[in-house]
Structure 1
């Protein structure tokens, strides 16, 4: 089964693939890499493929799990699903044919909302702008039981696409690629935020949703609450929904917060207690 999660902005995780490689500074303290090593030691079947020691690690090599791909077909209750909390769906090590299957499952289960987050913005943009990719996804959806007479709406109305943004450099690279990708909802995960980021409201660059968070855990880097305040202002200026997830371990330690990750809004300055979702007032 997919896993329940403590991630505040979703309800469940689904990992049809696992494993990844560090790509940019936001990956330096990757929680998933550390967790994969622990799961490998526990004998977890999904985490027995090792990755490149320079960019990945034990149990964190890219692997696709055929039995996990079809999990959502068995879920009756609608849910909000974070896709690949332990991988990157658009990693080059994941075959396009497997992505056809995964998007086919999402097309066949319109009752669920899928949230896909990537640092591989280029491949995401290329594939999802390709009519052949959409055609193959709908072909797989028919194989999974979606009626062929069902409306073929592309982009899929139940799939949200997002990119990770840790600093201004990557914001300026990844956000334009996201905005050039067809999606029902576009979002940013500015976590871990490692420096100030401005979104240039009014220039047609903003997505629908902006998640903001400091870094937590061992080796966490500092987070300035002003970075969150600026992102909230930029989001509101262009009608996007900001969601402050946490202020990070360094802030929590320095301010005597009740949660080690700085994740309890009651501890924060009042102007940062903002948790909005796209499409809500």
Structure 2
């Protein structure tokens, strides 16, 4: 089980990673890997490049844990790779196919994959079959996935003897794929790649949120079934993600959170409330995970602050007032935004093209 607020279970078929952006600077997984290495944990004995990784945090695949979800009978939300990035460049394509084969064979679970490398996810999961028969995007990777689920494959996964055949559909209806967004620069880089990735649910994790982020321009796209004659209410592809103006929602969920840990950077409240308001206006479920180490004091000031407090974010009015926040610790800061919790989840029935 896990204490992560938006999931029930973690599953780490790979461990280790490399820092690639400011959101990685205080990576909790890197710190935890160093501790686990010192405790003698077998999965964390390979050291990564000290410039981008660290002790116990080299990218390592773990075939021995692939079958764990086959033993979980009760449905659960499963965060895939809380200690790694499934789409890291050094995760072999064949191993990825095995991971997806397990997810396809366990439809009772919902798998939540979070990556800072959505460009690789998009390339792999839309890879065309090379047989020349004009198969749809993703068919080549899906063929690899189905091959990995059979006893005839070098990538055979014990417990999948009956294969997954074509029952699962594509994209897999129980797999959600999201990308991490810490600031506007990386929103602009990663969201377009995520939108090219086939997934039952596409989501953003804006944690740690290090600056204001505008996502509203990415949420809707024109729905092709609405061109010319208007929307057909029986169009299953649109499901409940359709709006009256003939558009379909591309982003299904947004998670927001501040940073925790000894080197945590503060999150300005208006960064979080802006994302909440963008989600509300565009009918996107919003989940506020935590404030992190810092929380607003309730004061808006221009000049000096009370001892131990700081001013953060852009001014909130023309007079230059800023929101005051203070370091109070993760537990004391809590997870209420403007006096309430936000625990919305996406509707997995919404489907995308």
Scaled by the length of structure 2, what TM-score is found? Answer: 0.74
Selected match of 1:156 from 172, 176, 182: 172
Deviation of 1:222 (Å): 1.1
Paired with 2:23 and 2:329, the residues of 1 have a C-alpha distance of 25
Paired with 1:256 and 1:90, the residues of 2 have a C-alpha distance of 34
Paired with 1:142 and 1:175, the residues of 2 have a C-alpha distance of 34
Paired residue secondary structure (2:286): strand
1:140 aligns to 2:148 (yes or no) = yes
Q: Tell me, yes or no, if the aligned pair for 2:118 and 2:194 is still in contact at 8 Å.
A: yes
Match of 1:277 in 2: 345
After TM superposition, the runs of 4+ consecutive aligned structure 1 residues lying more than 6 A away are: none
Paired residue secondary structure (2:149): helix
Paired with 1:152 and 1:260, the residues of 2 have a C-alpha distance of 41
Deviations 1:177-217 (A, max 9, x none): 11111100000000000000011246537510000001111
Selected match of 2:256 from 212, 229, 237: 212
Match of 1:227 in 2: 271
Structure holding more helix per residue? 1
Change (3 A) 1:180 1:195: same
Deviation of 1:141 (Å): 3.4
Q: Tell me, yes or no, if the aligned pair for 1:214 and 1:249 is still in contact at 8 Å.
A: yes
Change (3 A) 1:183 1:261: farther
Paired with 1:209 and 1:221, the residues of 2 have a C-alpha distance of 24
Count, aligned residues? 274
- 1:249-264 equivalence runs, <5 A: 249-251=293-295, 254-255=325-326, 259-260=330-331, 262-264=333-335
Q: Tell me, yes or no, if the aligned pair for 1:138 and 1:152 is still in contact at 8 Å.
A: no
- 1:1-281 equivalence runs, <5 A: 4-130=1-127, 131-143=139-151, 144-146=160-162, 151-201=167-217, 203-204=220-221, 206-251=250-295, 254-255=325-326, 259-260=330-331, 262-265=333-336, 268-270=337-339, 273-279=341-347
Paired residue secondary structure (1:251): strand
Change (3 A) 1:195 1:149: closer
Cα RMSD (Å): 2.0
Match of 2:232 in 1: none
Change (3 A) 1:196 1:149: closer
Paired with 2:123 and 2:73, the residues of 1 have a C-alpha distance of 32
Deviation of 1:151 (Å): 1.7
Paired residue secondary structure (1:236): helix
- Range with bigger deviation, 116-125 or 236-245: 236-245
Paired residue secondary structure (2:216): coil
Deviations 1:17-65 (A, max 9, x none): 0000000000000000000000000000000000000000000001011
Find the structure with the greater CA-based Rg.
2
Match of 2:314 in 1: none
Q: Gaps (5+ residues) in structure 2?
A: 128-138, 152-159, 222-248, 297-308, 310-324, 349-353
Q: Tell me, yes or no, if the aligned pair for 2:294 and 2:330 is still in contact at 8 Å.
A: no
Match of 2:241 in 1: none
